[in-house]
Amino acid sequence: MDPKAFVLGMSALGAGLAIIGVMGAGAGQGYAAGKGAEAVGRQPEARGAIMSTLLIGVAIAETTAIYGLLVAIILLFANPLIGKL
Amino acid sequence: MGIPFALLEAMPPGSILHFDKEFLLELGIQWINTIVIAVVLSKVLYKPVKNMLDKRAQKVAAQLDGAKKASNEADTLKEEYESKLVGIDTQKAEILANAKALAKASADKTLADAREAAEKLRNRASADIRSAEENAKAEMKREMIDISFLLAGKFVAASLDDKTRSDLVDSALDELGGVKWLA
Amino acid sequence: MDFSNKKLAILFRVGDANVYLTNTLVSTWTIGLVLIALAFVLRLMYMKRYQDAPASGSLQNVLELAVETMSNFVTSTLGHNLTGLGGYFFGVFVFIIISNFSALVGLRPPTADLSTTLALALNTFFLTHFLGITRQQGEYFKEYVNPVFIFLPIHLIGEISKPISLSFRLFGNILGGVIILGLLYKALPILLRFAVPDVLHLYFDLFAGSLQAYIFTILSMTYIRSKAEGSE
């Protein structure tokens, strides 16, 4: 078997596995957005402040998903393992 | 340095993500590009418009301040006038009261004077009357004495009897009006 | 299928590395020239026909609204001490949002290249620490050993991860849009390519594009403020 094909296949698999990590961020962001909607429903006049706080929180929670995406993108498009062969 | 825009050369395949020396060069170029764009947009568009807006906000604030000051001034002026008006009212009432009191006092005084004068007049009149009475009484006494001396002379002269004499005296006394001048 | 950033020509060589004229560079320069030209035109028009009370719907009104919104946003996010950065963030926001929208006219968004987003994130990084050191002095360094000295590496990793996550968030979102739309264009028969991808353009280019521009700006400001004013 061509070792390069094996590395590429495994990298693609790794990229897919890495993207699983995005799941948690999605769930967390959904929860945060739901809480934000609740807060807006309770206090509609504080909508602006709630929105900006929510967006900052969501963006920071997204960081973990970004790292998963980073690993996946590197494995797919800038594979460092191919060069090691 | 090579040939610029070497379009005819076959180019290597493109990439989505790569971490090498080329990436650092691209990063440097993009760094300059983004800074130039951001700074130009900031200096050319944002700052002047912001300054204009700030200046306008200041102008509006100054106008508002002026209007507020003017209205405050008008308010104080109005208050002053109102207080003055109230003062005038009280002053008027005071003057009126003073005048009334003055008039009343003078009237009272005149009345009292008149009364006093009248009293004095009456007193003097009554005193006059009394003195006149006294005088008249004294005169009468003197006249009576004169008359009695006259009568006595006549009696003596006529040498009347005791009865007639006492009758005469009695009648003379009766004529004189029952004045008990001997008592 | 090729969604890569194509190399069009060699600009110059530095040592043994080539600097290529890439799609990203072409679209960056296009967007930059358009924005700068627009800025000068608007400036000249605005200055020439400046009025105290602009007519509703006029260009001046739109410009004033944009600047005032940005200024309020900067004041509320950065605080009153750092309003001088408003111009820079105005420029960055406009550049990112126009870059993200540029996929609509067929350009490759400059933000779909890590070099652009990392350059922007590094600007934020250097601004953050420059302002942190100049404004906070000793307090700035004390925060790295808070609460005890052992936490120093954690703080350092946290600081280094900020520009990485900032740049990869923007890059990943826009690149994702580019890849998904490219796949869709390849998958659809030619006749359907006109109407169907519009919905995805609406989501990936307009919605995600403006949201990511907003998030990049607000996160940059939050990082800068937390360092410049000290974390309380």
Amino acid C54: pLDDT? 62
Q: Least CA distance to C85: which residue of chain B? A: B42
Measured in whole angstroms, the distance separating CA A54 from the mean position of its chain's CA atoms is: 17
Q: Does C118 map to a domain? A: yes
d(C-alpha B107, C-alpha B98), whole Å: 14
Amino acid C232: pLDDT? 52
Burial of C66 (0-12, 13-18, 19+ CB in 10 A): middle
Amino acid C8: pLDDT? 82
Whether residue B34 contacts residue C116, with contact meaning beta carbons closer than 8 Å, is answered with yes
| Alpha carbon of B28: minimum distance to chain C alpha carbons (Å) | 8
Long-range contacts of C205-211, Cβ-Cβ distance < 8 Å, separation of 24 or more: C205/C100, C205/C101, C205/C103, C205/C104, C205/C177, C206/C101, C206/C104, C208/C100, C208/C173, C208/C174, C208/C177, C209/C97, C209/C100, C209/C101, C209/C103, C209/C109, C209/C174, C209/C177, C210/C97, C210/C100
Q: Does C192 map to a domain? A: yes
Vertex C124 angle, CA C119 and C125, to 5°: 90
Chains near A with 3+ CB pairs less than 8 A apart are B, C
d(C-alpha B18, C-alpha C115), whole Å: 10
Mean predicted confidence (pLDDT) in C12-31: 86
Considering chain C, what is the average pLDDT of its residues? 85
| Alpha carbon of B81: minimum distance to chain C alpha carbons (Å) | 39
Chains near B with 3+ CB pairs less than 8 A apart are A, C
For chain B, say whether A74 makes contact (Cβ under 8 Å): yes
* Residue numbers in B near A74 (CB within 8 A): 17
Q: Does C187 map to a domain? A: yes
* Nearest residue to C35 (alpha-carbon basis) of C101, C115, C108: C101
Amino acid A81: pLDDT? 82
Mean predicted confidence (pLDDT) in B108-120: 91
| Alpha carbon of B16: minimum distance to chain A alpha carbons (Å) | 6
Sequence-distant (6+) residues with CB within 8 A of C144 are C151, C152, C155, C156
Q: Least CA distance to A74: which residue of chain B? A: B17
DSSP SS3 for C12: strand
Asked whether the beta carbons of residue C92 and residue B38 sit closer than 8 angstroms, the reply is yes
In this structure, what token pair is assigned to residue B85? 């008006």
Amino acid A31: pLDDT? 94
Measured in whole angstroms, the distance separating CA B166 from the mean position of its chain's CA atoms is: 91
Cis peptide preceding C147, ω within 30 of 0: yes
Asked whether the beta carbons of residue C219 and residue A56 sit closer than 8 angstroms, the reply is yes
Mean predicted confidence (pLDDT) in B32-61: 88
Asked whether the beta carbons of residue C63 and residue B45 sit closer than 8 angstroms, the reply is yes
What domain range includes position C20?
Answer: 7-228
Mean predicted confidence (pLDDT) in C8-26: 84
Q: Does C1 map to a domain? A: no
Q: Does A1 map to a domain? A: no
Of these ranges, A49-58, C59-68, C122-131, the one predicted with the greatest mean pLDDT is C122-131
Whether residue C82 contacts residue C131, with contact meaning beta carbons closer than 8 Å, is answered with yes
Helix axes of C23-48 and B47-158: crossing angle, nearest 10 degrees: 30
What domain range includes position A31?
Answer: 7-80
| Alpha carbon of A56: minimum distance to chain C alpha carbons (Å) | 7
Q: Least CA distance to B20: which residue of chain A? A: A78
d(C-alpha A1, C-alpha C206), whole Å: 46
* Nearest residue to A77 (alpha-carbon basis) of C5, C166, C183: C5
For chain B, say whether A73 makes contact (Cβ under 8 Å): yes
In CATH, what number is assigned to the domain containing residue A29?
Answer: 1.20.20.10
Q: Does B160 map to a domain? A: no
Q: Least CA distance to B15: which residue of chain A? A: A77
Q: What single string gives the DSSP state of each residue in B43-94?
A: IIIIHHHHHHHHHHHHHHHHHHHHHHHHHHHHHHHHHHHHHHHHHHHHHHHH
What domain range includes position B66?
Answer: 30-133
* Backbone dihedral angles phi then psi of residue B176, each to the nearest 5 degrees: -70, -15
Asked whether the beta carbons of residue C91 and residue B25 sit closer than 8 angstroms, the reply is no
Q: Does B162 map to a domain? A: no
Amino acid C193: pLDDT? 80
According to DSSP, residue C49 is labeled T
Considering chain B, what is the average pLDDT of its residues? 83
Asked whether the beta carbons of residue C88 and residue B50 sit closer than 8 angstroms, the reply is no
Mean predicted confidence (pLDDT) in C124-145: 87
Q: Give the number of residues written for chain B.
A: 183
Amino acid B181: pLDDT? 55
Amino acid B3: pLDDT? 44
d(C-alpha C124, C-alpha B34), whole Å: 12
* Residue numbers in A near C168 (CB within 8 A): 66-67, 69-70
* Nearest residue to C203 (alpha-carbon basis) of C169, C177, C168, C167: C177
Beta-bridge partner residues of C12: C19
* Residue numbers in A near B15 (CB within 8 A): 77-78
* Backbone dihedral angles phi then psi of residue C5, each to the nearest 5 degrees: -80, 100
Amino acid C57: pLDDT? 62
* Nearest residue to C60 (alpha-carbon basis) of B87, B39, B45: B45
pLDDT at C17 over 70: yes
Instruction: Give the total number of structural domains in chain B.
Output: 1
Instruction: Give the total number of structural domains in chain A.
Output: 1
* Residue numbers in C near B41 (CB within 8 A): 35-36, 39, 87, 90-91, 94-95
Asked whether the beta carbons of residue B21 and residue C68 sit closer than 8 angstroms, the reply is no
Give the pLDDT confidence of C171-230 residue by residue, as tens digits.
988 888 888 888 888 888 888 888 788 888 888 889 989 989 999 998 899 889 888 887
pLDDT at B179 over 80: no
Q: Does A35 map to a domain? A: yes
pLDDT at C117 over 90: yes
Mean predicted confidence (pLDDT) in C121-144: 88
Amino acid C183: pLDDT? 86
Q: Does A58 map to a domain? A: yes
Amino acid C30: pLDDT? 92
pLDDT at B2 over 50: no
| Alpha carbon of A13: minimum distance to chain B alpha carbons (Å) | 19
Give the pLDDT confidence of A8-64 residue by residue, as tens digits.
899 999 999 999 988 999 999 999 999 999 999 999 999 888 988 898 888 888 888
Q: Does B180 map to a domain? A: no
DSSP SS3 for C40: helix
Instruction: Give the total number of structural domains in chain C.
Output: 1
Asked whether the beta carbons of residue B25 and residue C42 sit closer than 8 angstroms, the reply is no
B residues 7..26 contacting A (CB < 8 A): 15-19
The dihedral built from the CA positions of residue A39, A31, C223 and C123, taken in this order, carries a sign that is negative
Give the pLDDT confidence of B127-175 residue by residue, as tens digits.
989 888 888 888 888 888 888 888 777 767 666 667 776 787 778 777 7
B residues 20..59 contacting C (CB < 8 A): 20-23, 25-27, 29-31, 33-50, 52-53, 56
pLDDT range class, residue B1, cuts 50, 70, 90 = very low
* Residue numbers in A near C176 (CB within 8 A): 69
Q: If residue C21 lies in a helix (H) or strand (E), which one and from where to where?
A: strand C17-22
Q: Does B151 map to a domain? A: no
Measured in whole angstroms, the distance separating CA B96 from the mean position of its chain's CA atoms is: 11
